[in-house]
Amino acid sequence: MSNQELPVLGQDATVEGCCPGLLSAPLDEDQAVVLAKVFKALGDPVRLRLLSMIASRAGGEVCVCDLTPAFDLSQPTISHHLKLLREAGLIASERRGTWVYYRLLPETTDRLAGLLTRPAGDSLPEPAGLPA
Amino acid sequence: MSNQELPVLGQDATVEGCCPGLLSAPLDEDQAVVLAKVFKALGDPVRLRLLSMIASRAGGEVCVCDLTPAFDLSQPTISHHLKLLREAGLIASERRGTWVYYRLLPETTDRLAGLLTRPAGDSLPEPAGLPA
Residue A5 is assigned to a structural domain of this protein: no
Number of Cβ atoms within 10 Å of the Cβ of B102: 27
Residue A12 CA: distances (Å) to CA of A18, A37, A81, B100, B108 = 12, 10, 18, 37, 29
Query: pLDDT averaged over chain A?
Result: 84
pLDDT at res. B4: 40
Whether residue A23 lies inside any domain: the answer is: no
Position A124 scores a pLDDT of 47
Please, are residues B23 and A104 in contact by the beta-carbon 8 Å criterion? yes
Residue B57 located in a structural domain: yes
Please compute the mean of the pLDDT values over residues B86-96 and round it to a whole number: 97
For A8, A28, A108, B39, B106, the CA distances from A87, given in Å and listed in that order, are: 7, 22, 12, 16, 29
Residue A40 resides in a domain: yes
Read off the CATH number of the domain in which B85 is found.
Answer: 1.10.10.10
Please name which of A40, A100, A81, A99 lies closest in space to residue B37, comparing C-alpha atoms.
A40
**Contacts across the A-B interface (CB distance below 8 Å):** 134
- Position A6 in a domain: no
| A40: chain B residues, CB-CB within 8 Å | 39-40, 43-44
Residue type, B18: C
Quote the number of domains for chain B: 1
Question: Mean pLDDT: which of A116-120, A123-127, B39-43 is highest?
Answer: B39-43
Q: Are B92 and B43 in contact (CB under 8 A)?
A: no
For B7-41, the pLDDT digits (tens) are: 333 445 567 667 778 899 999 999 999 999 999 99
What are A's interface residues with B at a Cβ cutoff of 8 A? 22-27, 29, 32-33, 35-37, 39-49, 51-53, 55-56, 70, 104, 106-107, 109-110, 112-114, 116-118, 124
Number of helices followed by number of strands (H, E) in chain A: 5, 3
Please give the residue range of the domain that contains residue B43.
29-115
Model confidence, pTM: 0.81
Radius of gyration of chain A (CA): 17
Query: What does the H/E/C string look like for B27-71?
Result: CCHHHHHHHHHHHHHHCCHHHHHHHHHHHCCCCCCEEHHHHHHHC
pLDDT at A42 over 80: yes
Is B89 within 8 Å of B38 (Cβ atoms)?
yes
